[in-house]
Chain A
Amino acid sequence: MSFAYEQEVRVVLQETEPSRTYTSVSNAGVYVPCYMDSLIESVFVAPTSPDFFQESVQRVVDLFGPSRQVARSSLDARPGGPMVK
């Protein structure tokens, strides 16, 4: 299933004058405030990424993010071996 074609969910925002509502507006787009603790359920690092990368991302999450354990990609799990999660 990990290789299945992706479906997509889009959030569409229409604003004629975004600078009235949002502080970070450019020609390229708009930054919309978002509660990270509400948004993020899980954080994964890419398949085959080195251990130090997972540790570094965990440190970044500890510093700036909601309280979450950074998990290895489940694609790293070996058939027959223990699930890496």
Chain B
Amino acid sequence: MYKASTILGDFDKDNLKIWRYMDLGKFISLLMRGELFFVRVGILADSADLYEGALTQLNFDRPELAAEYLARMLDVPGNPPDIRDTVGRYAADPDRLLQTVDMVRRFVYVLCWHASNYESAAMWKVYVQGNEGIAIQSTVGRLKGSLNVARESSGYSRCVTTIQNASGFLWISWRSPSGSA
């Protein structure tokens, strides 16, 4: 079950251990570039990615949540101040809701981490072919500190933290199989 996003700075699980599993090529690229790759959500449309599944499920089953999701996306400078009310009404119009979600998704990028106190045998298998793989372990707090381009904004939606310019923002969402996280 998808849980509502929170402000990056307010996500209070700083000590949560998070992992990424990768092959040597990706690891070298990560270190040399000093950059993390955020995948464009629209690109994931044909895959079985969890994010995409959650969004689609949201659209069909819980239109009010999808509307809330949209409102967060669109509540940025340059959009009308009543955008949240406008989008809130989309919940009653599924076609319009879906169209708008599709439009907004083109501007959304995600970076996924696996949260666990321990290594995962399953993740090694999923993300590494053969046995020549690498896992980096971080924490939510470290991730926040490392993406030090973010700064708090006070003028608009509570769920967002701006990054460098007015059009971009960043937040962390938390997903758990039990839905009770």
Name A's B-contacting residues (CB within 8 A): 1-18, 20-21, 24, 27-36, 38-50, 53, 56-57, 60-61, 64-65, 73-75
Contact = CB atoms under 8 A, between A and B. Distances in A.
Interface residues of B, number: 77
Given A13-B110, A46-B128, A64 B121 contact: no
Given A4-B120, A12-B5, A44-B119, 10 more contacts: A3-B120, A8-B50, A8-B114, A8-B115, A21-B168, A32-B147, A35-B148, A38-B142, A42-B137, A44-B136
A75 B134 contact: no
Contacts of A9: 13, 16, 18, 112-115, 140, 143, 172-175
Contacts of A36: 30-31, 34, 146
A43 B136 contact: yes
Contact of A6 (B122, B165, B170): B122
Given A4-B120, A38-B145, A53-B132, A27 B173 contact: no
B35 interface: yes
Contacts of B145: 35, 38-39
B132 A46 contact: yes
B110 A75 contact: no
B131 A30 contact: no
Contacts of B114: 6-9
A10 B137 contact: no
Q: Which 10 A-B pairs have the closest CB atoms?
A: A39-B146, A38-B146, A46-B133, A31-B35, A64-B31, A15-B168, A7-B115, A42-B137, A13-B109, A11-B111
B167 interface: yes
Contacts of B32: 64
Interface string B4-19: 0100100001001110
B135 A7 contact: no
Given A6-B123, A57-B24, A11 B43 contact: no
Contact of B133 (A2, A24, A45, A61): A45
B101 to A, nearest CB: 13
A14 B50 contact: no
B177 interface: yes
A41 B38 contact: no
A14 B108 contact: yes
